[in-house]
Amino acid sequence: MVAFSLFLCRTGHQQVTNHVSSDSEETSTGSILTLDSTLYNEENVHMLNKGVQAGNLEIVTGAKKYTRDVGVTFPTPSSSEAKMEEDSDEALQLHRPDFISSSRERIKRLKLLVQERKLQNLFQSEREALFSAVLPVPGRAHLAVQKNKPIGKKEMIQRTKRIYEQLPEVKKKREEEKRKSEYKSYRLRAQRYKTRVTNQLLGRKVPWD
């Protein structure tokens, strides 16, 4: 009986020793794995920092990816859209040159219309400024009547004609025309006088005016 009790005590002590040793082995193994993973993570972070400093970080094309130190990396824009636009322009130039030429002509016409509209507005504003100038007249009542009196078509034409006649270009042109007409009349008179003198010398009887 005593021997059996001693056997049980030894068996229990051995089991406890084995359990404690297995727990210590598992603990040491876990600590070793934790230390290895920590060193691996630190090494990866160190290599990543070196890549960022050297400018060798590759931007990932595709969906967003999040990293610990770098942040968000966005996809690089592809050149497919620009290539498609160039291909469409080349195709139009090859197959539909008339469409391109008509489009350019339409753009030119639109630009000309815009310029013409601007010139018309400028001419209208200048015309209104010219016609709005009223001569000073004594008497406020008469001035108010003249200001509020509507301008007829005939009076407007006469005013426009007077303003046109006062332009320096028009005056110069009229003087040149007058000088040309006088020179022409002088030449005609000289030619007639020469003809009469010639007839008189030849003995022809030509009546004098």
* pLDDT score, position 46: 55
Q: In which region does residue 55 sit, left (phi positive, over 0), alpha (psi from -120 to 50) or beta (all else)?
A: left
Q: The domain containing residue 45 runs over which residues?
A: 2-55
Q: Is the pLDDT of residue 60 over 50?
A: no
- Structural domain contains residue 148: no
DSSP letter, residue 84: H
pLDDT tens figures, 190-201: 998 888 888 888
Question: How far apart are alpha carbons 59 and 53 in whole angstroms?
Answer: 15
Mean pLDDT of 49-53: 51
- Structural domain contains residue 66: no
- Structural domain contains residue 27: yes
Q: How confident is the model at residue 24 (pLDDT cuts 50, 70, 90)?
A: very low
Question: How far apart are alpha carbons 122 and 114 in whole angstroms?
Answer: 12
Mean pLDDT of 87-110: 79
Decide which of 116, 131, 146 is a domain's last residue: 131
Number of domains in the chain: 3
Say whether both 47 and 87 belong to one domain: no
- Structural domain contains residue 91: yes
- Structural domain contains residue 143: no
Which of 24-33, 71-80, 82-91, 172-181 is predicted with the least confidence, judged by mean pLDDT? 24-33
Q: How confident is the model at residue 65 (pLDDT cuts 50, 70, 90)?
A: very low
Say whether both 126 and 176 belong to one domain: no
- Structural domain contains residue 36: yes
Say whether both 120 and 163 belong to one domain: no
Say whether both 125 and 160 belong to one domain: no
Question: How far apart are alpha carbons 87 and 90 in whole angstroms?
Answer: 5
